[in-house]
């Protein structure tokens, strides 16, 4: 939803980070031994879920701090 109010480069980055987190969340619940993320373990996969969200919050906060009304 935030990609609708953001500028051009950050809105694509937001969609990408959200997609990564969503895909990893799905893999977390499936967590098959044949998954390429199985070598990371549960803790490593949790980091792959959380870090893109933290990067997005940092980027979106910076965008809002630099935003000025016309």
**How far apart are alpha carbons 54 and 51 in whole angstroms?**
5
Domain range summary for the chain, segments of one domain joined by + = 12-65
CB 36 within 8 A of CB 18: no
Q: Is the pTM of this model over 0.75?
A: no
31-70 per-position pLDDT tens digit: 655 566 667 777 888 888 899 999 989 988 888 888 776 6
Whether 28 contacts 49, CB under 8 Å = yes
């Amino acid at each position: 939803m935030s990609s609708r109010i953001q500028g051009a480069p950050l809105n694509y980055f937001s969609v990408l980070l959200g997609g990564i987190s969503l895909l990893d969340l799905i893999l977390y619940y499936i967590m098959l031994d044949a998954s390429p993320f199985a070598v990371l373990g549960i803790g490593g996969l949790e980091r792959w879920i959380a870090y893109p969200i933290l990067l997005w919050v940092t980027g979106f906060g910076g965008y809002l701090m630099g935003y000025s009304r016309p």
